[in-house]
Every structure is written in C-alpha cells, then in structure tokens.
Amino acid sequence: LSRSEWQILKDLRDILKTCALSLVLKDVMLYFSHSTPNLAMVILAMDHIDNVFATASLTKETFSLAIHASLLIAKQMLNWYYSMTDASDLYHIAMVLHPQYKLDYFSNTQWQPSWIDDA
C-alpha cells in the first residue's frame, strides 16, 4: 500500500475506535439485538444515526478526503432508505399511534403542515 493508503487506513481505524459515528452504530446494533424493536423505535434510531452522520461529515479537518467522501455517501444511502418511509402508510400509522410521539414527532422533525395532515 502507498503512504496515503496507509494514512486512510489509520484514519479509518481511529474513527472506528473513537468516533461517535462508530459508537452510535454499535449502540443501535446492540439495542436492536437485545430487544424487540417496533417501527417507531427504528425511525427514531434512523433519526439519531442521521444526526451523527451529518455532524461527522461536516468535520472536514478531522478526516481525510476519502473518509469524508465515504461519510457523505453513507449519509446519502441512509437518506435514501429514510425517504422510503415517507411513502409507507405503516410508518405514519406507527408514529401517530405511538403514545409518546403522536403528531408531535412530525412537528418536531419540521414536516410541512400539509404532510402532517396527510399522515
């Protein structure tokens, strides 16, 4: 491997050891492997992962360009899967019927009023 490739591997190792990104992915995996998730829990976990990805992808000075680009691609992929929930009636029903969230979830995530009415 070239020096730059070794540096990318070192950056990746450091991210996987210490970065909030890898810790949140591990925490979510462990949480769902030890409990019975429902759809509302999955959506909230996706929201949390999205926030961590957004923060990590903005810190350009900490990561190499290759790592930064990988974070952006991972966030785009997460957003693609998340956008599929918008077309799911089950997603809307699960959030509206959840005793804690109801319609507040949609307001808190800055949905447009017409979208909330549709939900």
Where residue 42 falls among pLDDT bands split at 50, 70, 90? confident
> Half-sphere exposure (CA, 13 Å, Cβ side) for 118?
11
Cα–Cα distance measured from residue 20 to residue 26, given in angstroms and rounded to the nearest whole number = 10
How many folded domains does the chain comprise? Answer: 2
How many other CB atoms are there within 10 angstroms of residue 105's CB atom? 20
Same domain, 26 and 66: yes
**pTM score of the predicted model:** 0.63
Residue 27 sits at the vertex; the CA angle it makes with 98 and 75, to the nearest 5 degrees, is 80
Q: Could you tell me if 102 and 45 lie in one domain?
A: no
- What pLDDT is stored for residue 59 in this prediction? 61
| 29 and 39 together in one domain | yes
Same domain, 15 and 73: yes
Using DSSP's 3-state secondary structure scheme, residue 113 falls into: helix
Residue-number span of the structural domain to which 38 is assigned: 3-87
Q: What is the Rg, in whole angstroms, of the alpha carbon atoms belonging to the chain?
A: 17
pLDDT band at 70 (very low <50, low <70, confident <90, very high): confident
Cβ proximity of 32 and 39 under 8 Å: no
Are 40 and 9 part of one and the same domain? yes
Same domain flag for 40 and 56: yes
* pLDDT exceeds 70 at position 60: no
